[in-house]
Chain A
């Protein structure tokens, strides 16, 4: 029966390698860790750290989606946070003021659902848009149509910013 802490396979070994030309060379393998249990413990800790970092990054991304710019603000990227907040906010305010269509979940076709998903991308500003637009949408004029596009653009832009914040929180170059 093999014991659980049998680390014979990890012992330092010397192997003779014969190169294509010249004398044979002795190559030493890297020394093993102090013990197998210590190695598995460090692996567990690394996995826990990775899970914690991933969870934190995910929470940062969700925060950035719910309130535009918050994902970057949590990482002290103040310039980006301010720009995202102002850009999404101004697009939503302008779009709603131009009486663009703020889509709801009760859409009649696929385009309405797509518009709803895009509008939801603005996070809490979606409700702001519905509050501003008291008289409802009016897409019979070009202004209303532009407003609809502004609102959808604000949502997609905020989703992009949230994804950027998530990647930055994961430690990717951003």
Chain B
């Protein structure tokens, strides 16, 4: 996933986005819910919303990028 280049870890935009969404979703799930089932649902739902909003904002900005 990550490759070493010029002494720095490099991610593509989408990889960085996925990493961020996954880490934050898991953290929120564990902090916000107590039961394992509730945590899993919260993590998946939160991760899905991260993807939806991130990709949605990306498409909204697309016309202004050129």
Contact = CB atoms under 8 A, between A and B. Distances in A.
A135 B4 CA distance: 14
Contact of A98 (B10, B24, B30, B31): B10
Looking at chain A's contact residues, is the secondary structure mostly helix, strand, loop, or mixed?
Answer: helix
A83 interface: yes
Interface in A153-174: 153, 157, 160-161, 164
Contacts of A87: 23-24, 26-27
A62 interface: no
**Which of B24, B26, B27 is the most central at the interface, judged by chain A CB atoms within 10 Å of its CB?**
B27
Contacts of A164: 31
Interface residues of A, number: 24
What range describes how many residues of B lie at the interface? Answer: 10 to 19
B31 A94 contact: no
Interface string A77-104: 0011001100100110010011100000
B11 to A, nearest CB: 6
Given A83-B27, A87-B26, A164-B31, A153 B8 contact: no
Contact of B13 (A91, A142, A150, A157): A142
B9 A153 contact: no
B8 A157 contact: no
Which 3 A-B pairs rank lowest in CB-CB distance, beginning with the nearest? Answer: A97-B9, A83-B30, A87-B27
Interface of A: 79-80, 83-84, 87, 90-91, 94, 97-99, 135, 138, 142-144, 146, 149-150, 153, 157, 160-161, 164
